[in-house]
Amino acid sequence: MRLKDIGEFGFIERIKSGCLIRNSNIIKGIGDDCCVFRNSGDLATLLTTDMLVENVHFLRTEIPPYKLGRKSLAVNISDVAAMGGIPKEAVVSIAIPETMELLYLDSIYEGLKSMARKFEVNLLGGDTTSSPQHLVINVALVGESREDEILYRSGAKPGDVVFLTGPVGSSAAGLDIMLAKRSFEGREYLLDAHFDPHPHVAAGRIIGGSKVASALIDVSDGVAADLAHICAESRLGAIIEEEKMPTTELFRAYCQRFRLDTRRLSLHVGEDYVLLGTVPAQWTDKLEVALESDGCDFYPIGQMVSELGLQLKCLDGSIQKISSTGWDHFK
Amino acid sequence: MRLKDIGEFGFIERIKSGCLIRNSNIIKGIGDDCCVFRNSGDLATLLTTDMLVENVHFLRTEIPPYKLGRKSLAVNISDVAAMGGIPKEAVVSIAIPETMELLYLDSIYEGLKSMARKFEVNLLGGDTTSSPQHLVINVALVGESREDEILYRSGAKPGDVVFLTGPVGSSAAGLDIMLAKRSFEGREYLLDAHFDPHPHVAAGRIIGGSKVASALIDVSDGVAADLAHICAESRLGAIIEEEKMPTTELFRAYCQRFRLDTRRLSLHVGEDYVLLGTVPAQWTDKLEVALESDGCDFYPIGQMVSELGLQLKCLDGSIQKISSTGWDHFK
């Protein structure tokens, strides 16, 4: 049997038993955006790590190194945001092909630092090593939060409203425009949605601090795949209303121009790094007001249901089952 | 200019400015075995990360995957030990060639878990991704310590005794026996010194808790290179006495049999993962007693001096300058 036979999540299931050696101070181990454990003080510490591998997560010929650096940290910051936490201290490991230009590396670190400044994250060390062929960047990030404000994937209840904190699909369009090498007037905007995502830390803090939301995740694999994570951890299903899916005008124009399936790009291709959450129906107004009064967005897109699986209420009113397909590294 | 022109440490110098964004709670950032920052509680948190890259740090054809897993975590635990800390929570990122056998990966994780159990470290998550060609494993590890018991590279003073907590050279001999494919009766022992190092956590705790040692590091690049780190951070030099260098009988027998330079292998090739420290001369007895009463070893090998650079007092009594050469990924 090979890895591709069981996929990324099958692999995680396979390895996770036996990983928790002491559990007295552990709030959350494997299975969420961050692990969470108690410090001696009154705040919980969040720890997350994400690895970007050349020719898997990025093409060195396409993404500018500055944006590669920004994205390497941003995807980790987004994981802390998805718990409602504040990102704090980071370490960066990098495996570097021996012939790589220093200026290229400088740009990567400039990008890392600019993202670090934006969110007041310290870069406190790491590991630098050579690589036989491909560039690999790994960031580990510690964050913190009050324990009672942390949001997990497992808290959703039937009837809860499913919401997004920003439009989706633009990153998928950016990936498409890059791979198909298309010309388009909004090309740079869409490329940046893919190359330079903006983690929703402020929204995550508001959602956590509101104490009314029930689950939260960031959209890194696609809305369908990430909502499926909430469903799996909460043992529920969900219905998404297609007409409520927030997308940008440029995304829609791009899909129309090149006859692309907006549904596939907005639901099944990920990396928009907005937050996807659930909130009991009676608290949606309160949460929406809290988010919007602080300049963040709230887009209700559906609801959690007892019946397992994902369903889509299409534009014509019909309801169909949809797959939870998103990015899986091994399938 | 290319990376190989400035080397690993030149590269770190190049990137480290601008990395510290907030400094009010930072005890140690870039430039030691761990970064250290205050929690809200009364313990300091230690955070370290190390990446192992196939064909750079290991050959997949040589190291058993179980020991590769153990070593991936051990090298991080050793970094925490080198600060006098207690390893606590780890996250593991792994980039996996798509055709890799699951059983091979299972063995890696069995190794990770066995090392985790040995030191009561939790594996709390991580990131799994595909790799276009080479296996890459990155561990990030959080540890903790009382702030006043943490030891840095920068605290050594002229006259301080330089010590090791275990013999060195066996890992270098193991590397040699592997690469040269030699037959030798102690082959397995020497290979294990290279494949399956034992982090000196207990020794690190005693040294930190003694409050008399002045600097500490782990031997990951070689005694000369790692002592040079202490010298650089403490703005001093050091003299090592060759006759005091602790080595194993098997190491000496191996070098004699194959006419290898014991000095090169014990001083300039690393990865023994013992601790290398300094202590004021009047406290050596106290530290030795503390270590040995708890089953740890103390080997004084030289002393810190004001004159910069490393010197070796050879077996014939002559003194010669030696280079601080050890492993550098980019040179």
Q: What is the pLDDT of residues A146-175, one digit of tens each?
A: 888 989 999 999 999 999 999 999 999 999
B231 pLDDT higher than 70: yes
- Residue B299 and residue B210 share a domain: yes
Cβ contact, residue pair B37, A11, below 8 Å: no
Q: Which residue has the higher pLDDT, A324 or B314?
A: B314
Gap from A110 CA to chain B (nearest CA, Å)? 9
Is residue A156 domain-resident?
Answer: no
Is residue A18 in a domain? yes
Chain B contacts in chain A segment 266-295 (CB below 8 A): none
Which position has the higher pLDDT, B136 or A3? B136
User: Which has the higher per-residue pLDDT, A92 or B28?
Assistant: A92
Q: For residue A66, give how far its alpha carbon lies from the nearest alpha carbon of chain B (Å).
A: 13
**Same domain assignment for residues B141 and B166:** no
CB-CB neighbors (< 8 A) of B6 in chain A: 102
Q: How many domains does chain B have?
A: 2
Question: Does residue A328 form part of some domain?
Answer: no
ipTM confidence score: 0.90
**Same domain for B34 and B144:** yes
CATH number at residue B268: 3.90.650.10
Judged by CB atoms closer than 8 Å, whether chains meet at A6 and B102 is answered as yes
Q: A residues 41-100 near B, CB within 8 Å? A: 41-43, 45, 47-51, 53-57, 88-89, 91-96, 98-100
Q: Does B37 touch chain A (CB under 8 A)?
A: yes
C-alpha to C-alpha distance for B54 and B74, rounded to whole angstroms = 17
pLDDT digits (tens, 9 = 90+) for B185-221: 999 999 999 999 999 999 999 999 999 999 999 999 8
The domain spanning residue A50 has which CATH number?
Answer: 3.30.1330.10
Q: Which of B123, B149, B175 is the last residue of a domain?
A: B149
pLDDT per position as a tens digit, B60-104: 999 999 999 999 999 999 999 999 999 988 899 999 887 888 888
Is B168 found in the same domain as B144?
A: no
- State the pTM of this model: 0.91
Q: Which residue, B149, B173, B193, sits at the end of a domain? A: B149
Interface contact flag, A3 B40, Cβ < 8 Å: no
Residues of B in contact with A54 (CB under 8 A): 132
Band of pLDDT at residue A121, cut at 50, 70 and 90: confident
A198 and A98 assigned to the same domain = no
Which among A22, A42, A88 has the least Cβ separation from residue B122? A22
CB contact, 8 Å: B24 with chain A? no
Is B328 inside any structural domain? no
Question: Does residue B204 lie in a domain region?
Answer: yes
Q: What is the pLDDT of residues A52-76, one digit of tens each?
A: 999 999 999 999 999 999 999 999 9
Domain co-membership, B107 together with B180 = no
Q: Please write down the HEC assignment for all residues of chain A.
A: CEHHHHHHHHHHHHHHCCCCCCCCCEEECCCCCCEEEECCCCEEEEEEEEEEEECCCECCCCCCHHHHHHHHHHHHHHHHHCCCCEEEEEEEEEEEECCCEHHHHHHHHHHHHHHHHHCCCEEEEEEEEEECCCCEEEEEEEEEEEHHHCCCCCCCCCCCEEEECCCCCHHHHHHHHHHHCCCCCCHHHHHHHHHCCCCCHHHHHHHHHHCCCCEEEECCCCHHHHHHHHHHHHCCEEEEEHHHCCCCHHHHHHHHHCCCCHHHHHHHCCCCCCEEEEECHHHHHHHHHHHHCCCCCCEEEEEEECCCEEEEECCCCCEEEECCCCCCCCC
Same domain membership, residue A247 and residue A105: no
Same structural domain for residues A186 and A294? yes
Query: Do B137 and B7 reside in the same domain of the chain?
Result: yes
Range of the structural domain that residue A170 is part of: 161-322
B155 lies in some domain: no
Same domain, A144 and A165: no
| Structural domain ending residue among the three candidates B149, B176, B193 | B149
What is the pLDDT at residue A43? 78
Q: Provide the chain B residues 93-152 that lie in CB contact (below 8 A) with chain A.
A: 93-96, 98-103, 105-106, 109, 113, 116-117, 120-134, 136, 138, 140, 142
Same domain, B210 and B72: no
pLDDT for res A238 = 98
Asked if residue A78 is part of any domain, the answer here is yes
Same domain, A170 and A273: yes
Residue B189 lies in a domain: yes
